[in-house]
Structure 1
Amino acid sequence: MLLFIIFIPILAGVVYYVFSHYNFSKEEKIPTSASITYNQVKEKFIQGYYDEGLTLLQKALKESPDDTALKKLNSILSKELRISLKISYYLNGKTLKESQDITTSLSLSPKDPYYLDIIASRKCYLYLFQIDPKNKLYVIFPNHQFSLSKNPIPPGRMRIPDGFRWFRPDRTQGIETIYLLATPIENKRIIELAKDPDSLKEYLEQLQTSKINKIKGIVIKKLCFSHVNKEKEVL
């Protein structure tokens, strides 16, 4: 179970919201077109059918190599998107530490409040989910409970929870799993699937082995860390 604590939320949250929604880079828009083929391709990506979308896009480009909208969409998907995610935490509530090596060797106790620190290299739609040791799924982002920001996010750093808030592990021991999906095209399917946790888990696992890994503009990550009950030694 995820708990979070609030220190100074209101003013900090408003300031964070303003800056996180001001995009200092040139906006990268998904093209529009009357082309039936183009709209079929785009819809596949919007609905999260990445394997089908990629296959259809490649076929469409061969058949219509001069289609401006198709070429623009391919360019957006081919442009590299880099996502950095690390956990910053207070070890035993005393010493601030951070880890980008998020594996089961990283263990947090109820005395180790933490937040997620994310850096995106370009504007994108970000989706974050967390599954606790009890197999309960949480929508971490987009979720106004944890962040006033909304999709798409601008390039740069983002903290979740925002402001001066922290997640705090409960006393359930086991493995915590984080799923991250970042894409230049909105994924409408994934939010709908969040209403059915089992279907969403199945979809997120399928993405791990899909053709999505061949698309430079889309990032999928699965990260795990451990919940423990005992206090750790401060090094």
Structure 2
Amino acid sequence: MPIWTESDRRIVLKAKRDHPRWSWDAIAKLVQDDIHSGSACQQMWKRHAKDRPPPTPLGLAERRAIAKMRESDPPTPWEDVAEKVQFSVKICQVFYKYHVTDKEIERGRQEAQSTAIRQAKAEAKAAEAKAAKEMEEAKKRSSVVLSYPVVKSKGPTKITAASRAYQRWTDDEEKQLLKHVHEFTAATVAKNLKKKKQQQQDNTDWEEIGKKLKRSEGACEAKYKQLTLKYKKNEIRG
């Protein structure tokens, strides 16, 4: 075993004091002719260092876990680090200040970056799946066709006023509606004039008109009021 000279001893002690995170192999290379191994430098330092911190009880797995968590972006809080490795906050902090090496720091940084990348990809994939699911549900909702009751009979299917309550009015139906209303109105006016009444009454037979158009009474009356208002507006604009 090579003999330690005072000069070699000072080089190792000073290097460890100034650069506590350097690995022992890197410190060993500072000694002339590289005659001492990293392990030998570490053993010498333990015997002669006056400001040597207390030894760490952490094993390799805990050391690597702490380095990874503290090199994350942002760094994991010390309380969470201590809970993860099952050691006190003080022990973890002493290790990270005096015992962790640059090699362990670099390894922890790379592992933290790899974990962050995997997590980002997983989150992006989950967001994409969620968006696809929402789009599929929206398509299903938009494809729903509303159905209305149709009166069943032994013969051919009969279209009733109820089954057409929500169907769109055609131009021909609107014309027929106005025609029937005008016919009943004209008959009512003639009857009132015959009786010498000064005030005209609305005796439109909506039930009869609904039967002719195969629509409900309420639908016919409401549509007629809508058309009357529409024509009045057009006259005012004209």
TM range (shorter): under 0.3
If asked which structure has higher relative contact order (CA below 8 Å, sep 6+), I would say: 1
Bigger radius of gyration, 1 or 2? 2
Which structure shows the bigger proportion of residues in helix conformation? 2
Q: TM-score, normalised by structure 1?
A: 0.26
